[in-house]
Structure 1
Amino acid sequence: MGSLKKIVVWILISSSLFGAKVTLGHWEKGKTFSEYLDSKEISKEILSDISKADIQFLSEIEGDQLFYELKDHNGTLEQALIPIGEEMQIRLAKEHNSDVYSFDIIPIEYKEKEYGATVTIETNLYTDVTNALYHPSLADKIGQLFKGTVNTKKFQKGDKVSFIYSQKTRMGQPHTMPYVKIALLESRKKRQFIYADEDGYGYKSTKKSQAYTVTGKEKVTYTRRVPVKSTSSRFGMPLRHVRITSSFSHRRYHPILKRYRPHHGTDFGARRGTPLLAVNSGKVSFSGRMRGYGKVVKIKHSGGYESLYAHQSRIRVKRGEHVKKGQIIGYVGSTGRSTGPHLHFGLKKNGRWIDPMRVLRKTSIKDTVLKKITEYKDVTKTKYKKVVIKNAKENEEKLLAYLKEKSTPFIWEGYEQMSIGVEDGKTDQAL
């Protein structure tokens, strides 16, 4: 392949180029690349050799995206450039002296240039920048720069806003959003520079606060209720709220039998369904009905103790089950010989009934105590430091130099001129 001579020509969109015409179009929302090929009567065989990665690119064409077409004098497509994102584009090109098209994914080539402008406020910042420079996106970025630093609603007629910005262009058209580097507000004989960081946000100083994270250990002190030592040897109460209705006695008048007989236990008054608690850890030795006691649970504890919970409405544990102190084993009821809902609680020591209240600890004698605990926990904190805005002073000098030169700002209206590179015999290289 011999050497190729590159010819640079300047044309206008929709003007002729060696009998060909360049047009700027908008990609229809929802339109696929296959549908585009059909509209140009191009064979889909071109897609057969496309890699999976490139097929993924085809699905990333955005709706309303600007794209370029080069057509001959008969309207036949010679070449198309369809952007996919900001950096890459699809190039569809008709091979020289052939009806065959080639497909490729290539980088978007663009130029970047720096501009300066001064706008006098007549109506408002956005309207005046747009009317003066015919660049609405630039007006948006100027507004972003001032947001949070200067209240643009307080601008007065005659105030001046000067700024330096850079703009990427593709084939003579603005490509991506402009980047405003610095602005100067002149109002009521006062001047205020607004410096832009790399994200386009403005600051009145050449320094800005930057967040950073710090990790380390933090001392944390708090109180927690912890069990008292040797609680296993202590008996708690079978109910959370204690109300004794009948005490342990060797001779008590029975309200149902109407005669005196021993009362080997303590009766606690409570509503039906009130949870019953194991007074200590142990193993369930009985779970079921027991004559006049109705539904009963018996638990064997260490030290030769055995507790009994009678007249239950519903039992929650089974024989042979191990229970912990304070665990719910059933619910208050009135089964068996009973005048109403209550718990008859009995306690044996080595097989003999004893007065439960000599062993049970009332709720005032707590099984837990508050303990002060100190721990060191991993923490991540956000802190702030002042950092110098990149190129802040340099951009200030550029803006002052621009104002001194009193240059005419670049107007984007009708800016459709573009540089087109064409290589002899290879129109597929560029429009």
Structure 2
Amino acid sequence: MLRKLLLGTLVLLSLSACKKEKEDAHVEKQVVIEKPKEVKEFGFNLNNFFVLRDTIKQGDSFGEILAKNRIDYSLVYQIAEQTKDSFDIRKLQAGKPYTILCSKDSLQIPQCFIYQPNKIDYVVVNFADSIHAYSKKKPVKVVEREATGTITSSLSEAILEKGMDYQVSHELADIYAWTIDFFRLQAGDRFKVIYEERYIDDTIYAGMGKIKAAYFEHMDESFYSFRFKTDTIHDRSDYYDEEANSLRRFFLKAPINYSRISSRFTKRRFHPVQKRWKAHLGTDYAAPRGTPIWATANGIVTKSSYTGGNGKYVKIRHNSVYETQYLHMSRRAVKVGEYVKQGDIIGYVGSTGLATGPHVCYRFWKNGRQVDPFSQDLPSAEPIKPEIKERYLEFVQPVKTRLDNIIFEEEKEEYIAELN
């Protein structure tokens, strides 16, 4: 009897085990198929296309790129004609990336061309159903960063030592162009800055944005600067100090980012080409050929021409009192009648005319007479209008407090040393 009972139990256990094996086998066979994750870029789901990526090569043209991807030249012509108001196909730059979206089948026919002139902007030329083009921007996240630096040799070196974008040095030099002589910075001069960094998809760095505020110590003087929007209608902003005075003067100190002044304004100089003594009624700034030349103040271009002595040159009238002239350019970038703003590029350094090497001769007129700009008491830019001054001071107060609370690295080290 006991034997029969044990045998029955074993049979039941065996049947139960077989049933479980069948159930497990059934479970194993239930494969879960997940949908591929959507990859979105430029407003398209890239999973729906065969994607080709490349960069514009030297000598590439829009037509050649599409032709080598099996687009007939007749269609290329139609695309160029129907999108010319939205996209100039002649402005493709070597080294810039492009993407072609093709049909996801055996033919892989191109349906869309996407050009990226920079990390943020892109142009879509769509010719899948109807031909059209449009420009868009990738979503950008703006992050504010606080940083400090101390000068040991140069501003740019101090910027790079702290891992900041090199462009920060150019922006600071522009903001303080009239209040600090950056060619006379001293070891120990130091600065604080609050500025924006831009990121695509939270991780891809897309360059610096605007400097929100800065503080500079130079020759035992303190210089604050705060960015403030003075015209919301035209979206105009500028930099002012803690008392609402503009940091910009009417004229920039120099028309270029120069390496040295090779010759100053003088009534008697030995001319290196003509080999005789004569007046030199300008200031020569030596710089590499091709260096951009800036308008030192807002104004109207009155001359953009060439003479045997001046070479290629530009002259600007700023108001009823002041005019400036820029000589020996390799190339001019403006035409007569154009309105230019302070800092706009008007040409490039060269050695045309009577010049022994690349430089720009900067000439300055006051009431029709050539004068030395360094001897002039030049007017300041306009301060903030009285009606918005109170709003400005309210805006600046918390930003200044934030700047003041940023601690220099050497002060942190001293504090830690005291604690120890």
Larger of the two Rg values belongs to structure: 1
Same fold (TM > 0.5): no
Higher helix share: 2
Higher strand share: 1
> TM-score normalized by structure 2?
0.39
